[in-house]
Amino acid sequence: MAKGIMIIVEQRNLEIRKVSLELLSQGRKIADETSEPLVAVVLGQGIDGLASTVASYGADKVILIDDAKLADYTTGAYTSALNKLIRKEEPQAVLIGNTAIGKDLAPRLAQRLGVGLASDCTGMETDASSFLTFKRPIYAGKAFEYLASNVRPILATIRPNTFALAAPDASRNAEVVKEAADIDAADLRAILKEVAIAASERPDLTEANIIVSGGRGMKGPENYVILEALADVIGAAVGASRAAVDSGWKEHKFQVGQTGKTVAPTLYIACGISGAIQHLAGMGSSKFIVAINKDPEANIFNVADYGIVGDLFEVVPVLTEELKKIVK
């Protein structure tokens, strides 16, 4: 009989991704509401030291799958190992962060397990009949649908910044279990040879609490230094609209929108962005939206919590200087 809530913990260079800690925080609440155990699964190499961190965020049981083949993420190895583990553990639900890895891994797991997938969810609640229901945006964020399943396990990916991060409790203890990777040779069709990481002191765009984005109104790539100066003051990530990326002003990895990255920060500052539906689909879940645009009729003002009608080249530098006086 299916039992428990399983969180697939994503780690990079032995650092746990923030979205996984958010899932553990929310998973703890659901586990308490449903009297189900919270199980965390960590894959990688040399990962023993991560068990205490995972436990401090609420896990009752931590399963470590430590293997050289899992040192770096590859689709085949992770799918093979998790498919067998999930079948063995038989959890009620399996939750994964809706990151680049999560979006690659979850559909493949769903196919192996023969279950459906609730993807890119922005809400999750307990339900008496189906255990959990999930909320996800559809039609480029213009509507929401609510999903439930009576097939086990329930599999879902959750958008980063959806749930609040709980304070870790270092006194919490969890059962730590080590499992063999048990990876089928046939699944090792791709071998990762090298990982190239661009160095940046700014937070990852998909996990940032604050994002400053620029659109066509930036007029050129050289003007992004204005936004970067503001971002550095408030500890924000820098993003761009599709128009700016298509113009070659920013690389695609900075694009926010339906064909770029989906973000849900606490604060999103849109500078010179008109508010096309494609862009709104990628940032509409932001808790607070500030729009700076000289066109008072720009669509971005329809979703903004605060709007400044003015020239961004005048407004942003002043905003930066004023924030310097406040932010320590």
Backbone angles phi, psi at 21, to 5 degrees: -70, -35
Q: What is the pLDDT of residue 203?
A: 87
What digits encode the pLDDT tens for the residues 255-279? 999 889 999 999 999 999 999 999 9
How is the chain split into domains, by residue range?
5-187, 210-326
Backbone angles phi, psi at 302, to 5 degrees: -75, -20
Q: What is the pLDDT of residue 142?
A: 82
Distance of CA 25 to CAs 166, 172, 297, Å? 5, 13, 41
Assess whether the region 5-187 and the region 210-326 belong to the same CATH fold: yes
Contact residues for 315 (Cβ-Cβ < 8 A; gap 6+): 292, 308
Q: What is the pLDDT of residue 193?
A: 74
What digits encode the pLDDT tens for the residues 274-307? 999 999 999 998 999 999 999 999 999 999 999 9
Q: What is the pLDDT of residue 170?
A: 92
Q: Where is average pLDDT lowest: 83-97, 132-146, 240-254?
A: 132-146
Residue at 184: amino acid letter = D
Q: Is the pLDDT of residue 159 over 90?
A: yes
Distance of CA 49 to CAs 25, 46, 62, 64, 252, Å? 19, 8, 12, 10, 35
Instruction: Enumerate long-range contacts of 280-287, CB under 8 Å, 24 or more apart.
Output: 280/140, 280/141, 281/137, 281/140, 281/141, 281/257, 282/256, 282/257, 282/258, 283/211, 283/213, 283/239, 283/256, 283/257, 284/137, 284/141, 285/122, 285/137, 285/141, 285/159, 285/161, 285/162, 286/211
Q: Where is average pLDDT lowest: 64-78, 173-187, 214-228?
A: 173-187
**Distance between CA 127 and CA 148 in Å, rounded?**
9
- Can you tell me the mean pLDDT for 187-212? 81
The three-state DSSP-derived secondary structure of the chain is: CCCCEEEEECEECCEECHHHHHHHHHHHHHHHHHCCCEEEEEEECCCHHHHHHHHHCCCCEEEEEECHHHCCCCHHHHHHHHHHHHHHHCCCEEEEECCHHHHHHHHHHHHHHCCCCEEEECEEEEECCCEEEEEEEECCCCEEEEEECCCCCEEEEECCCCCCCCCCCCCCCCEEEECCCCCCHHHCCCCCCCCCCCCCCCCCCCCCCEEEEECHHHCCHHHHHHHHHHHHHHCCEEEECHHHHHCCCCCHHHEECCCCECCCCCEEEEECCCCCHHHHHHHCCCCEEEEEECCCCCHHHHCCCEEEECCHHHHHHHHHHHHHHHCC
Neighbour tally for 34: CB within 10 Å? 17
Q: How confident is the model at residue 186 (pLDDT cuts 50, 70, 90)?
A: confident
- The fold of the 210-326 domain, in CATH, is Rossmann fold (3.40.50)
Q: What is the pLDDT of residue 185?
A: 79
Q: Model pTM?
A: 0.86
- Place domain 5-187 in its CATH homologous superfamily: HUPs (3.40.50.620)
Distance of CA 92 to CAs 82, 118, 137, 256, Å? 15, 14, 24, 33
Cα R_g (the chain), whole angstroms: 21
